[in-house]
Amino acid sequence: MGGRAVGPVAAVVGRSCGARALISALLVLSSMLAISLAGTAVAQPDDNADSPAPATVRLDWSALGLKPEVYLSADATTNFAVPVPPGLSPTRVQGVIHAPMNIDTGFLEISDGDGRFLGSVGLPPEAAAQAVTPFDVDISGARVRSSSIDLSFTVRPLDNAAGFCGPLQQLSLSDLATVFAGTEAPATTIANFFPPVLERVTIFAPANADAAEQQSALTLVTTLARLYNIQPMSITVVPQPRGAAPPPAAQLARAVVVEAGGPAGLTVERAGNPDAYLRISGSGDELSAQASLLVNQLQSLAQTRASRIDQAGSETPLSGDTLTFSQLNLSGKTDVLRTGSLTIGVDRSALGLGRVDGVQVHLLADYTPVPKDDAASVVIRSNGIVVYRTALDNSGVLDASFDLERPAFGQGVNLDFAFTYSPHEACGPLTAPISFQVDPRSTLTMQRGGPPLNGFGAFPSEFSPRFMVALDGSGPDQLSYAARVVGAIARLTSTQLTPEVVDLQTAADSDTGALIVANSKAIEQTTLNPPVGGDGTAVDVALPTELRANIEDGLGSIQAFADQPRNRSVVLVTSTASWSLVDPLFDYIDGLDGGWSALTGDVLAAGEARVPTNVAIRDSGNIFEPAPTPALPKSLDQWIPVAVGIAVLAAVAVVAAILWSRRRRTAGNPPGDEPPAEPEHRV
Question: What 3 state SS string does 28-74 have?
Answer: HHHHHHHHHHHHHHHHHHHHHHHCCCCCEEEEECCCCCCCCCEEEEE
Is residue 378 over pLDDT 70? yes
Q: Assess whether the region 57-182 and the region 322-426+433-448 belong to the same CATH fold.
A: yes
pLDDT score at 317: 81
Is residue 591 over pLDDT 80? yes
Q: Which of 13-22, 199-208, 313-322 has the lowest mean pLDDT?
A: 13-22
CATH topology of domain 200-307: Chitobiase; domain 2 (3.30.379)
Cα 441 from Cα 260, distance rounded (Å): 48
Q: For 38-47, write each residue's pLDDT tens digit.
A: 333 333 444 4
- Does 22 or 285 have the greater pLDDT score? 285
Domain limits, the chain: 57-182, 200-307, 322-426+433-448, 456-615
pLDDT score at 42: 35
Is residue 158 over pLDDT 60? yes
Cα 322 from Cα 550, distance rounded (Å): 52
Cα 561 from Cα 548, distance rounded (Å): 19
Cα 466 from Cα 454, distance rounded (Å): 18
Report pTM. 0.82
CB 351 within 8 A of CB 465: no
CATH topology of domain 57-182: Jelly Rolls (2.60.120)
Q: For 595-612, write each residue's pLDDT tens digit.
A: 999 999 999 999 999 999
Is residue 634 over pLDDT 70? no
CB 331 within 8 A of CB 451: no
pLDDT score at 430: 75
Q: Position 681: which residue type? A: H
pLDDT score at 129: 60
Q: Residue 98: enclosing H or E segment and its boundaries?
A: strand 88-98
| Region 634-640 average pLDDT | 52
Is residue 18 over pLDDT 80? no
pLDDT score at 678: 42
| Region 287-295 average pLDDT | 92
pLDDT score at 27: 39
Q: Could you give the percent of the chain with pLDDT greater than 70?
A: 80
Task: For the beta carbon of residue 413, count every other beta carbon within 10 angstroms.
Answer: 24
Is residue 624 over pLDDT 90? no
| Region 232-255 average pLDDT | 96
Distance (Å) of CA 226 to CA 219, 306, 343, 430, 512 = 11, 24, 22, 47, 21
- 553 falls in which pLDDT band (50, 70, 90)? confident
Is residue 671 over pLDDT 50? no
Q: For 449-499, write each residue's pLDDT tens digit.
A: 999 999 999 999 999 999 999 999 999 999 999 999 999 999 999 999 999
Is residue 663 over pLDDT 60? no
Q: Which of 16-20, 298-302, 626-630 has the lowest mean pLDDT?
A: 16-20
pLDDT score at 238: 98
322-426+433-448: CATH, from 2.20.130.10, 3.40.50.720, 2.60.120.10, 2.60.120.260: 2.60.120.260
- 282 falls in which pLDDT band (50, 70, 90)? very high
Is residue 115 over pLDDT 50? yes
| Region 149-178 average pLDDT | 84
Is residue 640 over pLDDT 90? no
Cα 335 from Cα 368, distance rounded (Å): 10
- 551 falls in which pLDDT band (50, 70, 90)? confident
Q: For 435-446, write each residue's pLDDT tens digit.
A: 999 999 999 999
Do you find a cis peptide bond into 186, omega within 30 degrees of 0? no
**What SS3 class is residue 421?**
strand
Is residue 273 over pLDDT 60? yes
CA 650 to centroid of chain Cα atoms: 69
> Nearest 5 degrees, angle CA 326-CA 327-CA 330?
50
pLDDT score at 171: 92
| Region 300-309 average pLDDT | 94
CA max distance for the chain: 191
| Region 95-104 average pLDDT | 89
pLDDT score at 105: 87
Q: For 187-228, write each residue's pLDDT tens digit.
A: 999 999 999 999 999 999 999 999 999 999 999 999 999 999
Residue 380: exposed, middle, or buried by beta-carbon count in 10 A (0-12, 13-18, 19+)?
Answer: buried
Distance (Å) of CA 152 to CA 77, 79, 112, 119, 132 = 6, 4, 6, 11, 21
pLDDT score at 109: 97
Q: Could you give the percent of the chain with pLDDT greater than 90?
A: 69
| Region 623-648 average pLDDT | 55
pLDDT score at 545: 63
Mean pLDDT across the chain, nearest whole number?
A: 85
